[in-house]
């Protein structure tokens, strides 16, 4: 084993002990707890080199050291692979999420589950509409002057809109409307559907225009909404315990969680489903998250990214376990959302 590899083993042991105990780690405890196969003097020397290179630091005058953001970064980058969850854990995740009755329930369950698995704060983003297609549009006449439009996307999102009309609905008007939506909306991406139906609606038969145009306007409102700007959060109670020894940091984290734009920006950096991204300390643009780590992953179908989910906690988190949980939940959410 090279000196660099041995020092990484020392760093890994310091990370493991600090995450477990929340206390600075001294050379004696490393010798006592870990079979590193070298003398205490060598460990002390390795710790001195790691400190000089900025991977660990001494928070106060005690003999103990703690990992720095740079140390955590090296630790995460050198994880050769994310430890897989056990088959029992995977089955439990799958069973819990597959019981969801609709998209809202899938997202609520996934974020609650992620918070429970990691004991951290978790959040999930609604599927991005711009990547969704219209699976079905239902037109229901409620009475002579009111219609209900139901739009179902391929991500399982259901939008219901009421159309108030100034004239009575005729069979011909209802038929034209259904035909228009079937021909120009169903099967298209939402943006494309909006453009196609807008162009076609202006050329409809004047006899049915008074029914078609108001209905198209209401449909457009459903198509251009931005649910991807909505997040579901869970586990905020975990934040109090996680940052109990850092009250100033806790206040900042809670502010960041309230400011959902910050969280959406973090998820916007995701490019494909299934890749786990870890952002540590000062790597986070938001100063409120400068002492936090975020583990995030996209969910979707194949290479199509539909949205993202993440866990936020202190930098001294269980990175292998958190990364495994985030990846597993993201994978199941993608399968369920894509299959709906």
- The model's confidence at residue 227, banded by pLDDT at 50, 70 and 90, is low
Across the chain, mean pLDDT equals: 85
- What residues have CB less than 8 Å from 131, skipping those under 6 apart? 189, 300, 304, 305, 306
Taking every pair of C-alpha atoms in the chain, what is the biggest distance, in angstroms? 92
Pair 241, 318 in one domain: yes
- CA 59 from centroid of its chain's CA atoms: 33
Pair 257, 284 in one domain: yes
Q: Which domain holds residue 326?
A: 87-126+230-339
- The answer to which of 120-129, 288-297, 306-315 has the lowest mean pLDDT is 120-129
Helix (H, G, I), strand (E, B) or coil at 27: helix
So what's the pLDDT on residue 225? 57
Mean pLDDT of 289-299: 92
Pair 117, 234 in one domain: yes
Pair 99, 33 in one domain: no
- Looking at the structure of the chain, the number of domains it has is 3
Is pLDDT above 60 for 336?
Answer: yes
Per-position b or e across 26-35, b if 16+ CB within 10 A of its CB: bbebbbeebe
Pair 115, 154 in one domain: no
Cα separations (Å) of 134 from 129, 197, 203?
10, 12, 22
Mean pLDDT of 2-6: 85
Question: Would residue 82 count as lying in a domain?
Answer: no
For the ranges 92-101, 151-160, 194-203, the maximum mean pLDDT occurs at 92-101
CATH number of the domain residue 44 falls in: 1.10.10.10
DSSP letter for each residue of 50-119: HHHTTSEE-SSSSS-BEE-HHHHHHHHHT-SSPPPPPHHHHHHHHHHHHT--SHHHHHHHHHHHHHHHHT
Pair 255, 335 in one domain: yes
Pair 335, 234 in one domain: yes
pLDDT digit string, tens, across residues 24-39: 998 888 888 888 888 8
Question: Would residue 177 count as lying in a domain?
Answer: yes
Pair 305, 318 in one domain: yes
Query: In the sheet where 121-125 sits, what is the strand order?
Result: 231-234, 121-125, 304-314, 292-301, 276-280
Q: What is the 3-state secondary structure (H, E, C) of 122-144?
A: EEEECCCHHHCEEEEEEEEEEEC
Is pLDDT above 90 for 309?
Answer: yes
So what's the pLDDT on residue 226? 58
Pair 24, 172 in one domain: no
Q: What is the pTM of this model?
A: 0.74
pLDDT digit string, tens, across residues 316-330: 999 999 999 999 999
Tokens read off for 158? 């259901």
CA torsion 250-255-261-265 (nearest 10°) is -20
CATH number of the domain residue 249 falls in: 3.30.450.40
Is pLDDT above 90 for 100?
Answer: no
CATH number of the domain residue 207 falls in: 3.30.390.60
Pair 292, 174 in one domain: no
Higher pLDDT, 59 or 338: 59
Pair 119, 244 in one domain: yes
Pair 216, 268 in one domain: no
């Amino acid at each position: 084993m090279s000196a660099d590899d041995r020092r990484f083993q020392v760093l890994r042991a310091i990370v493991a002990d600090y995450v477990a105990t929340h206390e600075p780690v001294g050379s004696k405890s490393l010798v006592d707890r870990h079979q590193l196969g070298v003398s205490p003097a060598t460990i002390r020397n390795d710790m001195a080199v790691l400190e000089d290179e900025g991977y660990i630091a001494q928070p106060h005058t005690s003999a103990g050291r703690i990992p720095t953001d740079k140390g955590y970064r090296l630790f995460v980058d050198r994880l050769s692979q994310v430890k897989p969850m056990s088959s029992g854990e995977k089955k439990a995740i799958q069973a819990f999420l597959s019981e969801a009755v609709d998209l809202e329930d899938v997202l609520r369950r996934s974020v609650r589950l992620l918070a429970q698995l990691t004991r951290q704060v978790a959040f999930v983003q609604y599927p991005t509409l711009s990547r969704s297609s219209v699976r079905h549009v239902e037109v229901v006449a409620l009475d002579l002057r009111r219609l209900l439009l139901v739009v179902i996307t391929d991500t399982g999102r259901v939008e219901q809109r009421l159309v108030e009309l100034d004239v009575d609905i005729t069979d011909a008007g209802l038929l034209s409307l259904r035909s228009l939506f079937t021909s120009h909306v169903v099967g298209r991406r939402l943006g494309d559907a909006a453009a196609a139906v807008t162009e076609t609606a202006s050329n409809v038969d004047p006899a049915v225009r008074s029914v078609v145009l108001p209905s198209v306007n209401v449909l457009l409102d459903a198509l251009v909404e931005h649910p991807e700007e909505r997040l579901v959060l869970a586990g905020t109670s975990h934040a109090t315990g996680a940052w109990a020894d850092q009250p100033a940091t806790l206040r900042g984290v809670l502010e960041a969680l309230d400011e959902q734009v910050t969280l959406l920006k973090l998820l916007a950096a995701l490019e494909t489903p299934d890749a786990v991204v870890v952002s540590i300390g000062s790597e986070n643009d938001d100063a409120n998250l400068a002492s936090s780590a975020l583990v995030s992953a996209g969910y979707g179908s194949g290479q199509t990214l539909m949205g993202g989910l993440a866990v936020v906690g202190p930098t001294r988190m269980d990175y292998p376990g958190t990364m495994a949980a985030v990846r597993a939940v993201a994978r199941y959410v993608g399968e369920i959302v894509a299959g709906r």
